[in-house]
Amino acid sequence: MNASLDAGYGLTVRWSLTDAGPDAAARLREYVVGTSMARFMFQEGLAFKVWRMREGEWFEGTYVFDSARARDEFRAGFEATAATAPGSQLIGSAPILIEDYEVVAIAEGPEQFRRGAGPGQA
């Protein structure tokens, strides 16, 4: 694949929420909006990150990096501390999935990307 046509290099990190405490979702929202967003806004090589959640089921960080090298370096550093990462501490367990993926394409609609808290945040 021609590097100039690459959309990005993805990474998914997912935790199970099935055994997390009843306030885990609220604590995760607070952490993401209050702390984590600011950290990732300046992450070298990161195009964007999305935090996704199905309350009571799973919580996930979805990353898209500009290069395979940036993704792989981030993944190696994260894996070394995954069990003690802030998400793991808030949830009470380590991630159940850390997986690379190919970003085939990204389409930005007329509403464009928004920064900030989602619908679960008041």
pLDDT in tens, 4-21: 456 799 999 999 999 999
pLDDT for 6: 67
Sign of CA dihedral 116, 81, 79, 23: negative
User: Domain total for the chain?
Assistant: 1
| 8 A C-beta contact, residue 106 and residue 66 | no
Q: What is the CATH number of the domain that holds 97?
A: 3.30.70.100
Q: Is residue 34 part of a domain?
A: yes
Quick check: 120 pLDDT over 80?
Answer: no
Please tell me the pTM assigned to this model.
0.87
Q: Is residue 109 part of a domain?
A: no
Q: Is residue 85 part of a domain?
A: yes
Q: Is residue 59 part of a domain?
A: yes
Q: Is residue 94 part of a domain?
A: yes
> 3-state DSSP: the chain helix, strand, coil percent, rounded to 5?
35, 25, 40
CA distance 56 to 45: 32
**Strand 8-16 vs strand 97-103: parallel, antiparallel, or unpaired?**
antiparallel
The number of C-alpha atoms within 13 Å of 6 and in the hemisphere containing its C-beta is: 15
Q: What is the pLDDT of residues 48-103, one digit of tens each?
A: 999 999 999 999 999 999 999 999 999 999 999 999 999 999 999 999 999 999 99
**Strand 8-16 vs strand 58-65: parallel, antiparallel, or unpaired?**
antiparallel
Which residues span the domain enclosing 85? Answer: 7-103
